[in-house]
Amino acid sequence: MSLINDDLQHLLTQYCEPEDELLQHIDRETNLKVLMPRMISGHYQGRVLSMLSKMISPKRILEIGTFTGYATLCLAEGLTSDGMLYTLDINVELEDMVRASFAQSPYNDQIKYILGNASETIGLLNEVFDIVFIDADKKNNGTYYDMIFDRVRSGGIIIVDNVLWSGKVLQEKQDKDTRNITSFNDKIAEDDRVEKLILPVRDGLFVIRKK
């Protein structure tokens, strides 16, 4: 899923902060035990998410798509002391693994892990968010964006993963999944309520700042 070669990716990880032992453990367990382990954010993207979070010092974070909790913990690193991160996922099969990892983290008490359909659970949250990270079922990126937009404060950021879709967005003839990604990207490009840019990190991170 990375858009750069392995040698350059290795170099990038040499020039950023290291993973702590818990993140290394989650990465190993994900690759050993979970289907589609490539969905994990991983070292470099995790440090990007951590850096963005620390720059903002968020009091409230929403993550749509927990997977095995790697990105969750990276984002949590920037939380204020009284901050809270809500992470939503539909995969109950990973619950025990995710909760066990969170329990080993210093941010455990600041994370609310909510299982269920995100299109339903988002509506249960009565919060205004400083950061939203969307990394779930890609066909619903636009739906989630619309649902959370009014819940993001002015100056807050929305981050959306996988917006370059392994480079397939460059293809003239696109399959359904790629068309969905392109349609979402076009939607953001045309939204004058926000400032935006795509970072070519891993599979593409759309960083969107609400005006």
Beta strands in 119-168 (DSSP E): 129-134, 152-161
For the stretch 5-38, pLDDT in tens is 889 989 999 999 999 999 999 999 999 999 999 9
Residue with token string 């840019």: 197
- Whole-angstrom distance, CA of residue 16 vs CA of residue 25: 19
- Whole-angstrom distance, CA of residue 205 vs CA of residue 197: 8
- Whole-angstrom distance, CA of residue 145 vs CA of residue 119: 11
- Whole-angstrom distance, CA of residue 185 vs CA of residue 208: 11
Enter the pTM of the model: 0.96
For the stretch 114-126, pLDDT in tens is 999 999 999 999 9
pLDDT for the residue 1: 62
* Helix or strand run (H / E) with residue 207: strand 205-210
For the stretch 38-48, pLDDT in tens is 999 999 999 99
Taking residue 140's Cβ as centre, other Cβ atoms within 10 Å add up to: 18
- Whole-angstrom distance, CA of residue 119 vs CA of residue 1: 26
For the stretch 56-111, pLDDT in tens is 999 999 999 999 999 999 999 999 999 999 999 999 999 999 999 999 999 999 99
- Whole-angstrom distance, CA of residue 47 vs CA of residue 167: 22
For the stretch 188-205, pLDDT in tens is 999 999 999 999 999 999
Q: What is the Cα Rg of the chain in Å?
A: 16
* Token digits of residue 2: 């990375």
**Phi, psi at residue 87, to the nearest 5°?**
-125, 130
